[in-house]
Amino acid sequence: MIKSAVLALCLTFAVGAQATNVNQVALGLSQSVLSEVDAQNMNWKVGDSASYNMKGGFINGKMVMTIKSITGNEVVINQNLDLGFLGKQDCDATIDASNGQTKKLVCNGQEQQAPSQGDIEVVDIKDDKITVPAGTFECLHIIAKNTKDNSEINQWANPKLVPVSGLIKAVTPSQIGTMTVELTSFKKN
């Protein structure tokens, strides 16, 4: 479970100043740890989804992540964001299920550059229990460091229970202050 839980970092969302930057920042964060993850253990199924509240600075938003398709070794994860006055964003990330790498990123119909890897270092992973709007969960608390600016990223995940990425809660720095993402509901097929 530990290796799979690190995949949740893949989909941690550090919101930038504009909605168009959200997915690139989020996927860049995760890509650096995906080499440590056995992505095939994620047990992805088309239609699985997880919904989240996002709060940070002056932003109150919502995010829904859904497994859109699975073809061979490729998994397409749809991320639909509503960041209020910052706008909406609909992105599809094509992930290589054999290694967790993002092969393609399309946001609002336009292909984006896939985020770079290597800026995130996992510092610690420990057993924990956390309560969010979706309930109370046994989970792993993943502490990571962004090596570019030495900022700390905290994430709670249970990929065996929570679909798509296993993400239950994330607290990450962003350009607008600390961003908190919390699970509100999920559906497994």
Asked if the model's pLDDT at residue 11 lies above 70, the reply is no
- What is the pLDDT of the chain when averaged over all its residues? 76
pLDDT tens per residue across span 110-149: 888 766 556 777 888 899 999 999 999 999 898 888 787 8
Using alpha carbons, list the distances in angstroms from residue 58 to 35, 55, 84, 124: 34, 8, 10, 30
Number of helices followed by number of strands (H, E) in the chain: 2, 11
In the chain, the domains with their CATH numbers are 2-187 (2.50.20)
Full-model pTM = 0.81
Cα torsion 137, 182, 121, 104 to 10°: value is 120
Question: Among residues of the chain, what percentage have pLDDT more than 90?
Answer: 26
Q: For position 118, what pLDDT does the model report?
A: 61
| pLDDT band at 18; cut points 50, 70, 90 | very low
| pLDDT band at 41; cut points 50, 70, 90 | low
| pLDDT band at 9; cut points 50, 70, 90 | very low
pLDDT tens per residue across span 95-121: 887 777 778 888 888 888 766 556 777
